[in-house]
Chains A and B, each alone.
Chain A
């Protein structure tokens, strides 16, 4: 009967007289998109379960009978909850459907205030758009509308306007299905139904910013963006968030040289379409009024504006051929090109190996890290792969803070197919609520907890006798054995480098690697970095590498006078290093301090020279995220004042020391990176359009155990 050949898993449906094959069970609202048509929606969201609350997607439905006639259902049905089945007939443009839509919109608009001119959603509002295309042009409702509190602050970031709510439930479902904190719920019924937090507490979620974006009306709006601009005033450019190492794709909205808001951009490989609050609300520093715009040089205890050549002269005088008496420390938001050129400058012209990008308490050297001790790569799993894992071991700090997108994917895995998750942490974490076992240990006892769990896991398995013997001193309790049940088969390990900030972080990581290697899960081991481009810095070798000093030794060297000149590139040691006093002593004692920064910081007080550099939105550059995805960020604004891209600054300095062919474009630097390190080959600039390019993961040298930690 079907005119198209039937393929397995596909069903033939008819939409507005056009027959097409769609996967069985696909929702009609999605099937319609295949024809380039659209069913208006409010409550339906492709990444959440359908609920059919708003009735906007009503369609006429019928079934094709064996004799070829079509038997229509007596009433319209919601297209968002209707799965495609064989012989389904859908009509989306009949007179009655059009009348139904008009009726639904009229009902929705009964209580919706027409304050579009002052609503932050006005101009990009699904309710406005649907009313324009499908709704009535005038209202018949003359009675008094519902009046409720306006501009009710749900949290510091989210403002709730109850009058505008159309009760679609997207926000409530987001907190239940996606972020998992379930902080919003519907209170009351009928016209009084409102999404609220329980007991009127703050909406204190790590992902609350997303409800602003998915709200189809202006009921949930951003407190930061409130009345800042209208959509048609904004310039919107694609960018990448650098607030953590996940590298989420975002839309960067700016107006008149000011960042106005950050919205999630669809990138199925990384963030789907979500953002975390850290990223969405964390870009305020770009608007700081006191960002350095000119090079500053200290003259008689005061930083005074100077020109570049004087600054260069002083820097060259103090750094050139400084050998071990000069050092450089790097922050997280520095592009691959800048890092590479910084390293080249230090190695070639300063002849100094003293470089580090790490700020954690434990700074494992080349021979001490996971790669050194265990012969395995730090990272094996891409972000998108987390949604298909079956079992996972989450160790250390809150996964939702350190790796928000990995957290969302892992939660999806639990929700979709019941992935078993074991959490070991010192404090409550977001992942606890869906974990099949939570091992809460005392502060500073993370290593023991991991070792006990390792012992319990190995009891269920064959092999790895040496490891089992080494783990003898760690007797698992009932809780560990219960948790080990979840890790019976293959399991993925995820830990963040923030664990190195703990006194026993090094041992914890090693114990985790042992567990992964001992259970043949080395290919599923992950130690993700936390800073935006920490991965890039590690791959490009911006670390002491055997001969040089690490961050701690550099700071100590400054205090003892071994380091005469220090260069701080986009980092504030006061904010990053755990020992405040040590930083202060170091910066006070070092003879010559260069602070190169795009935002004012505390270290500037001690600087001999302050160099303004571009923030990531002001210069082209690439950044490597936790899954070694190299993503290009393009300049959106002109640099502030005289600020220069860091790579350009380093190039100019190098030309002063040794005249040679200059570098004009960051792409040339990427070519040089590729020439030096083959693994960067996929990241050539012509490959970076769209979602960037992934560098190889899981390059293992041969997994091995390291038992000395258990003694």
Chain B
């Protein structure tokens, strides 16, 4: 009777605990999100960013190729002409409105691929949850990189 209990109950438990003990000696593979965040793979495609050149000018020229390439049709671009008084991008043209509907976006990265100036890039910020639907329309101001700090 005791022999049976030892064989069918205690032994398997100990076998299992042995594995646990063995694993306990290894380093942890989970991280304490949200306090700790893991470095994501280099090709991660999450939140879009409109990049700037080092001198602070926007890379986006408002060409709307991203909107053309977008399979979810979630990008809206309206462009206008730069003047010497109000210059946003290096060339003649800049985006006066640039909006992405994040609810519709499927993060395929075609916009990034279509962009001739490398202005729209999908970076690693994945915490995109929000409470209201209108807040998921990301405007140009939200998407633009902050201005580089002048030394």
B112 CB, min distance to chain A CBs, angstroms: 14
Do B116 and A117 touch across chains, with their CB atoms under 8 A apart? yes
Q: Is A233 touching B64 in the complex (CB atoms < 8 A)?
A: yes
Q: Which residues of B contact A233 (CB under 8 A)?
A: 64, 67-68, 77
Q: Which of A390-410 contact B (CB under 8 A)?
A: none
CB of A117 within 8 A of CB of B68, answer no
Q: Which chain A residues numbered 208 to 244 have a C-beta less than 8 Å away from chain B? A: 226-230, 232-233
Chain B residue at minimum C-beta to C-beta distance from A122: B63
A118 contacts B by Cβ under 8 Å: yes
**Other-chain residue from A115, A118, A228, A230 in contact with B68 (beta carbon distance below 8 A):** A230
- A151 touches B (CB below 8 Å): yes
B80 surroundings in chain A (CB, below 8 A): 227
Bound together, the chains give a CA A150 to CA B91 distance in angstroms of 11
**Could you give, for residues 69-90 of chain B, a 1 whenever the CB lies within 8 Å of some chain A CB and a 0 otherwise?**
0000000011111000000000
Residues from chain A with a CB closer than 8 A to the CB of B64 are 229-230, 232-233
Q: Is the CB of A232 within 8 A of B68?
A: yes
Interface residue ranges of A148-168 to B (CB < 8 Å): 150-151
Q: Scoring A residues 107 to 126 as 1 if CB is less than 8 Å from chain B, else 0, what string do you get?
A: 00000000101100011000
B73 nearest CB across to chain A (Å):
10
**Complex contact B63–A118 (CB within 8 A):** yes
Structural contact, A230 and B81, CB atoms closer than 8 A:
no
Residue of A nearest to B69 (CB): A232
0/1 per residue, A121-144, Cβ < 8 Å to B? 011000000000000000000000
Cβ of A118 and Cβ of B61 under 8 Å apart?
yes
Contacts of B78 in A (CB 8 A): 229
Report Cα–Cα, A123/B67, bound state, in Å.
Answer: 13
Question: A117-B116, A151-B92 given as contacts; is B81 within 8 A of A226 (CB)?
Answer: yes
Contacts of A122 in B (CB 8 A): 63
Contact A230 B63 (CB under 8 A): yes
CB distance from B128 to the nearest CB of A (A): 26
Q: Indicate if the CB atoms of B62 and A227 lie closer than 8 Å.
A: yes
Q: How far is the CB of A529 from chain B (nearest CB, A)?
A: 40
Q: Which residues of B contact A230 (CB under 8 A)?
A: 63-65, 67-68
Q: How far, in angstroms, from A227 to B67 measured CA to CA in the complex?
A: 15
B124 contacts which chain A residues (CB < 8 A)?
Answer: none
B68 touches A227 (CB 8 A): no
Q: Is B140 part of the binding interface, using a Cβ–Cβ cutoff of 8 Å?
A: no
| Min CB gap A324→B, angstroms | 54
Say yes or no: is B93 at the interface (Cβ < 8 Å to chain A): yes
CB distance from A123 to the nearest CB of B (A): 8
CB A132 to nearest CB in B, in angstroms, measures 15
Which residue of A118, A123, A232 is within 8 Å of B93 (Cβ)? A118
- Chain B residues, CB < 8 A from A118: 61-63, 91-93
Residue numbers in A under 8 Å from B117 (CB-CB): 117
- With A150-B92, A233-B64, A233-B67 in contact, do A227 and B79 touch (Cβ < 8 Å)? yes
Q: How large is the interface on B (under 10, 10 to 19, 20 to 34, 35 or more residues)?
A: 10 to 19
B81 in contact with A117 (CB, 8 Å): no
Question: How far is A232 from B73 in the complex, measured between Cα atoms in Å?
Answer: 11
Q: Encode contact with A along B41-71: 1 for CB under 8 Å, 0 otherwise.
A: 0000000000000000000011111011000
Residue of A nearest to B82 (CB): A227
Report B86-118 residues with CB < 8 Å from chain A CB.
91-93, 116-117
CA of A230 to CA of B67 in the docked complex: distance in angstroms? 10
In the complex the two chains form, what is the Cα distance from A626 to B4 in whole Å?
Answer: 108
Rounded to whole angstroms, the CA-CA distance of A122 and B116 in the bound complex is 13
Distance A35 CA – B131 CA, assembled complex (angstroms): 60
Complex: how many Å from CA A560 to CA B63? 61
> Given the known A-B contacts A117-B116, A118-B92, A150-B92, are A227 and B65 also in contact in the complex, defined by CB atoms under 8 Å?
no
Minimal beta-carbon separation of B99 from chain A (angstroms) = 12
When chains A and B are docked, how far (Å) is the Cα of A151 from the Cα of B67?
25
Which chain A positions have C-beta within 8 A of B67?
230, 232-233
- A230 vs B81: C-alpha distance when bound (angstroms): 14
Given A227-B80, A227-B81, A232-B68, A117–B92 Cβ distance below 8 Å?
no
Query: How far, in angstroms, from A228 to B63 measured CA to CA in the complex?
Result: 10
Residues of B within 8 A of A226 (CB): 81
A118 to B67, CA, bound (A): 14
* Min distance, Cβ B65 to any Cβ of chain A, angstroms: 6
Q: For residue A151, which residues in chain B have a CB less than 8 angstroms away from its CB?
A: 81, 92
| Chain A residue, CB-CB nearest to B114 | A117
Instruction: Write the nearest CB–CB distance from A114 to chain B, whole angstroms.
Output: 9
B20 to chain A, nearest CB (A): 59
Rounded to whole Å, the gap between the CB of A101 and the closest CB of chain B is 25
CB B80 to nearest CB in A, in angstroms, measures: 6
Which residues from B are CB-within-8-Å of A229? 64, 78
Specify which of B65, B81, B91 is in contact with A115 (CB 8 Å cutoff). B91
Give Cα distance in the complex from A226 to B81, angstroms. 8
- Residues in B with CB closer than 8 Å to A227 are 62, 79-81, 92-93
A228 contact set on B, CB distance < 8 A: 79
Determine how close the nearest CB of chain B comes to the CB of A459; give it in whole angstroms.
62
CB distance from B75 to the nearest CB of A (A): 10
Give CA–CA (A115, B62) in the complex, Å.
12
Would you list which residues of chain A between 552 and 588 have a CB under 8 Å from chain B? none
Query: CA A117 – CA B80 in complex, angstroms?
Result: 13
Which residues of chain A have C-beta atoms less than 8 A from B81's C-beta?
151, 226-227
Encode A64-76 as 1/0 by CB contact (under 8 A) with B.
0000000000000
Nearest B residue to A120 by beta-carbon distance?
B93
Chain B: which residue is nearest A229 at the CB level? B64
A150 / chain B contacts, CB cutoff of 8 Å: 92
Task: Find the residue from A227, A228, A230 having the highest chain B CB count within 10 A.
Answer: A227
In whole angstroms, what is the CA distance A151 to B80 when docked?
14
Measured CB to CB, the closest approach of chain B to A515, in angstroms, equals 54
Q: What's the least CB distance linking B110 to chain A, in Å? A: 14
Q: How far is the CA of A122 from the CA of B62 in the complex (A)?
A: 13
Closest partner residue, chain A, to B89 (CB atom): A118
A12 to B76, CA, bound (A): 54
Give Cα A681–Cα B23 distance, bound, in whole angstroms.
91
**B91: A residues at CB distance < 8 A:** 115, 118
Closest to B116 in A: A117
Give min CB distance, A628 to chain B, whole Å: 42
Give bound CA distance, A632 to B116, whole Å.
Answer: 43
Measured between alpha carbons, how far is A3 from B125 in the docked complex, in Å? 72
- Separation in Å of the B49 CB from the closest CB of chain A? 19
Q: How far is the CA of A258 from the CA of B125 in the complex (A)?
A: 36
CA gap between A208 and B92 in the complex, in Å: 24
Closest chain B CB from A186 CB (angstroms): 25
Scan residues 9-28 of chain B and give those whose CB is less than 8 A from a CB of chain A.
none
In the bound complex, CA of A336 to CA of B116 (Å): 50
Which among B62, B63, B68, B77 has the greatest number of chain A C-beta atoms within 10 A?
Answer: B63
CB distance from A496 to the nearest CB of B (A): 39
Min Cβ gap A667→B in Å is 34
Could you tell me the distance in whole angstroms from the C-beta of A150 to the nearest C-beta in chain B? 7
Task: Known pairs A117-B117, A230-B67; list 14 more (Cβ under 8 Å).
Answer: A115-B91, A117-B63, A118-B61, A118-B93, A123-B68, A150-B92, A226-B81, A227-B79, A227-B80, A228-B79, A230-B65, A230-B68, A232-B67, A233-B64
B contact residues vs A (CB 8 Å cutoff):
61-65, 67-68, 77-81, 91-93, 116-117
Task: List 21 A-B residue pairs with CB atoms under 8 Å apart, sorted by A's residue number.
Answer: A115-B91, A117-B63, A118-B61, A118-B62, A118-B93, A150-B92, A151-B81, A151-B92, A226-B81, A227-B62, A227-B79, A227-B80, A227-B92, A229-B64, A230-B65, A230-B67, A230-B68, A232-B67, A232-B68, A233-B64, A233-B68
Top 3 nearest A-B pairs (CB, nearest first) are A117-B63, A118-B93, A230-B64
